[in-house]
Amino acid sequence: MITGQFPIARFETLETPFYYYDMAVLTDTLRAVNKERSEVEGPMAPFAVHYAVKACSTPAVLQTIAQAGLGADCVSGGEVRAAIEAGFNADKIVFAGVAKSDREIRYALEQGIFCFNVESMEELEVISSLASEMGVRARVCLRVNPNINAHTHDKITTGLSENKFGIPMRFLNEAVALCYRLPAIDFLGLHFHIGSQITDMTPFVHLAERINELVAEVEQMTCKDPDGKAVQPVVRHINVGGGLGILYEHPNHFPIPDFKAYFDTWRSHLHLRADQQVHCELGRSIVAQCGNLITRVLYVKKGENKQFAIVDAGMNDLIRPAMYGAFHRVENITHPEKEEQLYDIVGPVCESSDVFVENYRIAAVQRGDLLAMRSAGAYGETMASQYNLRRLPGHVIS
Ligand code: LLP
């Protein structure tokens, strides 16, 4: 499939900047995920994919993902609410985050979500006491910090022991024992997430090996239930988190990430039994390529040694280049036929980091041209702010 076809006439009637979601790309991506997650052998259950709502929570996008049968991975009460409103079944919702508030925990318990990914023993105690007060039980997976380097950008690495996320491995047994001792907790299994934008499968192989060790260790334990009776923990659910990366350089030729390689990695490296279910929480790989930030050129300005294309979108609309040094391909969609020239493409915000790309070749631009910033569906609109009192970008669906 080739993407990158834009309805320019429609765009001309709209106020820029805005996010444009190409639903054909999204549905093709969802078809690919559903196909690959279901390729399982024997009695093994298909992988359960929970879409990471933080990547893009635009209602039409969420609804399409819910209709495709995926679950949702949420990190706030607001995301749990958005997922439920978009049609995700509560029994496919997982709720992670290092700092869930009492209000958020109560709300998720009321909704009957599938499980909490719990990040500390302190949180476990709070969830148990709130569930007891409400007369319900809370299903939990323990989020373990596996100390695995995802070899991705520092700011999106989560699985190292210096990161704030998850329960350190040396406290895992204690946390499992606590799950069984507490009156309102059902222990389902283990949860992991090592980072984002991972395109080489090696870190996932390392994580799978670590998971095999930890599952074996936990299942060798003997715990005590609240009445002091001995119980053997069983890890029925293994959640490997998200993190599959995309090709930012090639949105037109490789819009669908390599889901086969991703699921094959887990299939070949996790030691699984038929009574175990693997879950994952993909965000970026599902929505990045369907989204584009559409912006208009305001000025073409000559600098001392360079040429600036100044556009009406700023770092408040798409913060990834300023925050992570991320690359987004930019295309002149009004005049794609023009001969290429070299530009720094910059925004209007009063910060020198409000630069989308430097020394970049693009079909020559003039005032009024529309540009598409590609692969911006994940962590684009959801991270937008009103800095400089600018309006939020808003969105258009194909
Ligand atoms: N599960 C957990 C626990 C997470 O923290 C994340 C992302 C995901 C799943 C989804 O990861 P994905 O499949 O999208 O890689 N704003 C950054 C990315 C931050 C990712 C945060 N956690 C960016 O723009 O690159």
pLDDT score for 23: 97
Domain that residue 48 falls in: 23-285
**Domain shared by 63 and 187, yes or no:** yes
Residue 158, pLDDT above cutoff 80: no
pLDDT score for 150: 81
Higher local confidence (pLDDT), 1 or 324: 324
Residue 37, pLDDT above cutoff 80: yes
The answer as to whether 6 is a domain residue is: no
Lowest mean pLDDT among 40-49, 174-183, 361-370: 40-49
Total number of domains constituting the chain: 2
How many angstroms separate the alpha carbon of residue 244 from the centre of ligand 1? 9
How many angstroms separate the alpha carbon of residue 272 from the centre of ligand 1? 25
129 CB burial (10 A radius; 0-12, 13-18, 19+): middle
**Domain shared by 279 and 331, yes or no:** no
The token pair at 333 is: 């969609």
CB 328 within 8 A of CB 375: yes
**Domain shared by 124 and 74, yes or no:** yes
pLDDT score for 211: 97
Ligand 1 contact via 243 beta carbon (within 6 Å): yes
- Predicted confidence (pLDDT) per residue in 208-246, tens digit: 999 999 999 999 999 999 999 999 999 999 999 999 999
The answer as to whether 281 is a domain residue is: yes
- Among 47, 49, 51, 54, say which to mutate for ligand 1: greatest number of ligand atoms within 8 Å of CB: 54
- Predicted confidence (pLDDT) per residue in 66-102, tens digit: 999 999 999 999 999 999 999 999 999 999 998 999 9
**Domain shared by 216 and 306, yes or no:** no
Of 36, 66, 67, nearest in space to 51 by CA = 66
Place of tokens 């609410």: 81
pLDDT score for 8: 94
Which residue, of 264, 285, 306, is where some domain finishes?
Answer: 285
CB 265 within 8 A of CB 204: yes
- Predicted confidence (pLDDT) per residue in 343-352, tens digit: 999 999 999 9
CA distance 256 to 247: 9
CATH of residue 311: 2.40.37.10
> What percentage of the chain carries pLDDT values higher than 70?
97
CA distance 92 to 72: 6
How many angstroms separate the alpha carbon of residue 370 from the centre of ligand 1? 30
| 3 band by pLDDT with thresholds 50, 70 and 90 | low
- Predicted confidence (pLDDT) per residue in 286-339, tens digit: 999 999 999 999 999 999 999 999 999 999 999 999 999 999 999 999 999 999
pLDDT score for 9: 93
The answer as to whether 248 is a domain residue is: yes
- Among 118, 163, 284, 375, say which to mutate for ligand 1: greatest number of ligand atoms within 8 Å of CB: 284
**Domain shared by 94 and 109, yes or no:** yes
Helical residues (DSSP H) of the chain, grouped into ranges: 8-12, 23-37, 59-67, 77-86, 102-111, 121-134, 172-181, 202-219, 259-269, 284-287, 320-324
Residue 149, pLDDT above cutoff 90: no
- Residue-averaged pLDDT of the chain: 95
Helix (H, G, I), strand (E, B) or coil at 251: coil
Which residue, of 260, 285, 310, is where some domain finishes?
Answer: 285
CA distance 375 to 358: 18
**Domain shared by 142 and 252, yes or no:** yes
CB 147 within 8 A of CB 169: yes
| Mean pLDDT calculated for residue range 40-46 | 75
Atom of ligand 1 nearest to the CA of 198: 15
CA-closest residue to ligand 1 atom 3: 193
**Domain shared by 152 and 220, yes or no:** yes
pLDDT score for 4: 62
The answer as to whether 18 is a domain residue is: no
Alpha-carbon dihedral sign for residues 212, 216, 217, 222: positive
Cβ atoms < 10 Å from Cβ of 354: 20
Which residue, of 235, 260, 285, is where some domain finishes?
Answer: 285
CB 273 within 8 A of CB 44: no
**Domain shared by 63 and 151, yes or no:** yes
**Domain shared by 278 and 350, yes or no:** no
pLDDT score for 31: 98
| 165 band by pLDDT with thresholds 50, 70 and 90 | confident
The answer as to whether 15 is a domain residue is: no
CB 352 within 8 A of CB 358: no
**Domain shared by 329 and 261, yes or no:** no
pLDDT score for 153: 75
250: which residues sit within 8 A by CB, 6+ positions away? none
Residue 2, pLDDT above cutoff 60: no
Helix (H, G, I), strand (E, B) or coil at 231: strand
Q: The whole model's pTM is what?
A: 0.96
**Domain shared by 156 and 208, yes or no:** yes
**Domain shared by 259 and 371, yes or no:** no
Residue 268, pLDDT above cutoff 80: yes
Beta strands 370-373 and 330-332, pairing class: antiparallel
The answer as to whether 5 is a domain residue is: no
The answer as to whether 330 is a domain residue is: yes
